[in-house]
Amino acid sequence: MAGGGGSTESGEPEFQIAPMIDVLLVLLIFFMSITTAEILKVDAAITLPVSPNAKPHDPKMTKLEVAINVEWKNEKPIFKIEDTPFDRPADMVPVLIERIKAKPNLRALIRGDRKLPASEIQKVMDLVGQAGFVDIAFSASNKEKPK
């Protein structure tokens, strides 16, 4: 007897796994597409200063921070907002103003290289203040970076 709907000869329906997998894959793609990947973009080339009392970064704060990376290379500072380099530090102010307008409770996370002179950090702090940030944090590591 020809049976329809995937039934066996005993009259019991078969469990079909292929449609279940299709549904699961559709759900996986749906959730992947609606999830925003907020990642704090930090410059791995920066060797942070060491502070034994430095606390680990709170992942919940990532959406509320903009990383300002300042690398010390060839006796010159290299200023970046996340991945975007700036030739002149003053060029960062309009970008920071736009960021603070979009999210008024945004925090500026200043990540300065260990060898960076304090005067360069002062420049960044001044520019962040000009942009209107009231919350500023500094990155430090609680242990030496392995070489």
Q: Quick: pLDDT tens for 136-146.
A: 888 888 777 65
Q: What is the pTM of this model?
A: 0.67
Distance of alpha carbon 106 from alpha carbon 51, whole angstroms: 25
User: Does residue 130 contact residue 68 with C-beta atoms inside 8 Å?
Assistant: no
Which residue would you say has higher pLDDT here, 116 or 6? 116
- Taking the domains of the chain in order of start, what are their residue ranges? 59-138
* pLDDT higher than threshold 70 for residue 13: yes
Spell out the CATH class of 59-138. Answer: alpha beta
- pLDDT tens per residue across span 43-66: 677 788 888 888 877 777 777 889
CA proximity to 77, closest of 90, 95, 94? 90
Average pLDDT over all residues of the chain: 83
